[in-house]
Structure 1
Amino acid sequence: MDFEPSSEARELAGLTRDLAGSGRPLWPALAEAGVLAAALPKRAGGEGYGLAEQCAILIELGRHAAGVPYLSSIVVAASAIAEFGTDEQVATWAAPAGRGELIAPSEEAARIAGSAWIRGRLVIGAAAYQLGVAERALEMTAAYARERVQFERPIGSFQAVSQRLADAWIDVEALRLTVWQAAGRPEPAEAATAGFWAAEAGHRVLHTAVHVHGGVGIDMDYPLHRYFLAAEEHEFLIGGATAQLLDLAEVLP
């Protein structure tokens, strides 16, 4: 399996990154630039890309802890309606969602596509967003550990700190591997594996980030608290690590 993002995924990720850092209202900017519709099927006005490209977008949104409904409206609901719905349903819900005119309804999508399909896409998408959150939080923490001096030494040079950062790096890379595996093969086992690492690694990495930062890690004027809350939200969204292991046990031979 090729774990390298496609050129289209890299292009969409770069565009999302630029828009997220532009200071403009993000949701209408994503719609205007065609990012919302890009990974939808062509019958919904999209470019026909797929889950891998959606995951690339979600990773960048996670890196900015962006509070936009791309996961629920586009990756889950609009994609389900575009894949399984009638032409009328696509025209009513999926296509307008891709233009940013409405938030596609999850209830309608679940009725059309079935709860198993919806659950799989939700877990994989949440894992991709969580990857962006954890990746950026670790970068911030590593930079802080290089700059923060205690006892005339950067705190990152202390063994206890460096070990926790090394463990966090391993967690992020494990999450990255399982996200791209699930994006390329969105089967129940792959989704549950990515979901487990999203919950487990997200929890550990963000707690490490807050602990290494100390008091500034929970300062409302410092951005790390937004990443901590985003990681907790997506951990709870998919039910936590134990729920993912139980799902995995159901599908393993």
Structure 2
Amino acid sequence: MDFSLTDEQTALVELADQILGDRCTLERLKEVGAGERRTDVELWRELARADLVGAALPADVGGGGFGFLEACLLLEQVGRHVAPVPYWATVVLGGLTIAEHGAGPLRQELLAGAVAGETILSAALQEELADPRSPATTARPDAAGWQLDGEKILVPSVPDAAVIVVPARAEGGVGLFLVEPGSSGVSVIAEETMGQWPLYRLVLEGVAVGPDRVLVAPGEEGQRALDRLVDRATVGLCAISAGVCERGLRITAEYASERKQFDRPIATFQAVGQRLADAFIDTEAVRLTMLNAASLLDAGLPAGKEVATAKFWASDGASRVAHALLHVHGGISIDVDYPIHRYFLWAKQIENDLGASTVQLQRLGDLLAAEP
């Protein structure tokens, strides 16, 4: 397949690379990482002013009218610069889902705010010991609408989010609901993870959801909507992983060409060269399988096997790349004043988010076995 970028896509990527490259200095990353939220609000607003936050959102809410593929190209740049901005949560998890299924003034308000960089969105997909496509969180109808009960884990950007898309299971099937973090019955608990972006546990106890906050009613359409959301979320993570691997490998190659032992750059040693070559092959596999899955999803075509394949490489292949970065750098790799540890931590966080490599192989096997 031809994954060459169009002129418009190239312009988006170059603009994002320029802004993120200028702002994501080591000093700034350390400053933001020391804060409670670990989110660069100023950078987020600058991306919004450059029309990058809303690039993949519909034109009728002020967005650029591009699609999921362009969102992944921008996420790749977020990964390259390990940028502490909520693009994955706001655009891929929340924004595209609300754009597809939302209606009325609430849709306009949330998405227009997201485009302007003023509104953060998110989605709560993961649960303990549960497939994100088959949530254990329950939705019970009552006279005022619905009541949600359950517990979600590893939810991004919760304290800053205006609403969170919450999948829940009712008697008629799975539905998608919009929950405000400050609602009665919602408890938010910060979680400690190896990644550099903040994640939270969301405990729901009798949370009331009115009819206007039902994004997709429980049923077959709700299950299809959840499957699309999980697929986009998964490939979005793969896009971040592709950027993390590419930039981390570039930094490592430059280091190996300058670091000398026995009066020779270590890049000239056969073992080091082979290790970097293997990491380059893995990086290209992560990127190409991501682009393949993103292109199919963007076109509205079936992509179950391609999504599982992309996430396998973003888990298995990216893990090998991450360890190669550390091994080639040696002891300096664990120095928090040196940038490479951030790339390792991001790659390892993505490895397990929404299913690690073994889970993807199992899903891929089930999909292949189900074909006639």
TM-score range (shorter-chain normalised) is over 0.9
Considering fraction of residues, name the structure with more strand: 2
Runs (4+) off by over 3 Å: none
Q: Whole-Å Cα distance in 1 between the matches of residues 98 and 61 of structure 2?
A: 9
- For 1:210, the equivalent position in structure 2 comes to 326
Q: In the alignment, does 2:235 pair up with 1:124? A: yes
Pairing partner for 1:67 from 81, 84, 88: 84
Q: Is the 8 A contact 1:41 1:49 kept in 2?
A: yes
Q: Whole-Å Cα distance in 1 between the matches of residues 271 and 122 of structure 2?
A: 47
Q: Whole-Å Cα distance in 2 between the matches of residues 196 and 190 of structure 1?
A: 10
Number of equivalent positions:
253
Considering fraction of residues, name the structure with more helix: 1
Q: Is the 8 A contact 1:192 1:244 kept in 2?
A: yes
**CA displacement, residues 155-189 of structure 1 (integer Å, 9 cap, x when unaligned):** 11111111111100100111111111111102221
**What does 1:1-253 align with in structure 2 at a 5 Å threshold?**
1-23=1-23, 25-106=42-123, 107-108=164-165, 110=167, 111=176, 112=215, 114-186=225-297, 187-252=303-368, 253=371
Q: Whole-Å Cα distance in 2 between the matches of residues 34 and 165 of structure 1?
A: 36
Q: Is the 8 A contact 2:51 2:64 kept in 1?
A: no
TM-score where L is the length of structure 2: 0.65
What root-mean-square deviation, in Å, do the aligned CA atoms of Structure 1 and Structure 2 show? 1.6
Q: Is the 8 A contact 2:71 2:92 kept in 1?
A: yes
SS in 1 for 2:2: coil
What's the offset of the Cα at 1:128?
0.5
Q: Is the 8 A contact 1:56 1:128 kept in 2?
A: yes
What's the offset of the Cα at 1:109?
6.5
What's the offset of the Cα at 1:245?
1.5
**CA displacement, residues 204-223 of structure 1 (integer Å, 9 cap, x when unaligned):** 10110111000111111100
Q: Whole-Å Cα distance in 2 between the matches of residues 80 and 250 of structure 1?
A: 26
What's the offset of the Cα at 1:70?
0.3
Larger radius of gyration: 2
What's the offset of the Cα at 1:94?
2.3
What's the offset of the Cα at 1:122?
0.7
Q: Judge which range, 100-109 or 237-246, deviates more.
A: 100-109
**CA distance 1:44–1:192, shift in 2 (3 Å):** farther
What's the offset of the Cα at 1:73?
0.9
